Amino acid sequence: MTGLLDKWRSRSSGIALVTGANKGIGLEVVRQLAAKQWRVFLSGRSLDSIERAAVSLSAPSVTPVILDVTDQESIDKAAKIVSETVDHLDVLVNNAGILDDHDDSILDLSVDRLRRMFETNTIGPLLVTQAFVPLLRKSAAARIINISSGVGRLTDMGPAVPAYGISKTALNGVTGKFAASLKSAVIAVNAVDPGWVRTEMGGSEAPRSVEEGADTIVWLATQAPQSMTGLFLRDRKPIPW
């Protein structure tokens, strides 16, 4: 085990796949990893947007791949393409997410909206992780990073964005289950709250830049101890679920 972990520590670069990476925090994570000489699969649901995003980075180590996290066929196709291109995957970042319940209250929340939010924010990361675990197992010490949110914390439940919040609470549950199930395979699984970030989702009033939002994610991908697993992190530190 120690040998494997030492191998990870000595690795200056690796191979990663980021979902929902055509803009926002996901694109910034790809940019930072590529700057560290990582090979990165920049995935998203539209060919046009992932190709434009990849061109905007002008990094030869970035490869666009179509992946809609709500579509099993699309997930399987992406996993096949990636596994035919590389012999292992070191890091999977489940970043894709939606939020469209700004004005909702749990008192009259539409269950259709809750289902839609779960499809992308909770079930999507679960299915993507299942599809990529075989390739992650081939890494000496792999990491799965789920982008969650502070509004999903059971210890700090406010009334805002109920469907989104509940979908992230459930994503935290997905994180814990994978962490426990993959510990013996030396695959670390953690959730990250990036804070309130200026993106299309976060809006222009948010206090954090995408660089700040991506920091803990990139740190977990490249520098954190491999023994760090089953945690919810913000600003590189564990926070209560």
Ligand X SMILES: NC(=O)c1ccc[n+]([C@@H]2O[C@H](COP(=O)([O-])OP(=O)(O)OC[C@H]3O[C@@H](n4cnc5c(N)ncnc54)[C@H](OP(=O)(O)O)[C@@H]3O)[C@@H](O)[C@H]2O)c1
Binding to ligand X (CB under 6 A) within 116-175 occurs at 120, 147, 149
Smallest separation, CB 170 to ligand X (Å): 13
CA atoms lying within 13 Å on the CB side of residue 48: 0
Cβ contact 134:87 at 8 Å: no
The H or E element that residue 176 is part of is helix 162-182
Kindly state the helix (H) or strand (E) to which residue 41 belongs, with its residue range. Answer: strand 39-44
The stretch among 1-9, 63-71, 106-114, 135-143 that binds ligand X (CB under 6 A) is: 63-71
Question: Which of the ranges 22-30, 32-40, 109-117, 179-187 carries the binding residues for ligand X, by CB under 6 A?
Answer: 22-30
Q: For ligand X, what does the binding mask look like between residues 176 and 215, x meaning CB under 6 A?
A: ------------------x-xx-xxxx---x---------
At residue 160, the 3 state secondary structure works out as coil
Whether the CB-CB separation of 130 and 78 falls below 8 Å is answered with no
Active site residue 168: yes
* CB 241, min distance to ligand X, A: 15
- Nearest Cα to Cα of residue 193 among 127, 143, 237: 237
The residues carrying an active-site annotation are: 164, 168
By CB under 6 A, name the binding residues for ligand X. 19-20, 22-26, 44-46, 49, 68-70, 95-99, 120, 147, 149, 194, 196-197, 199-202, 206
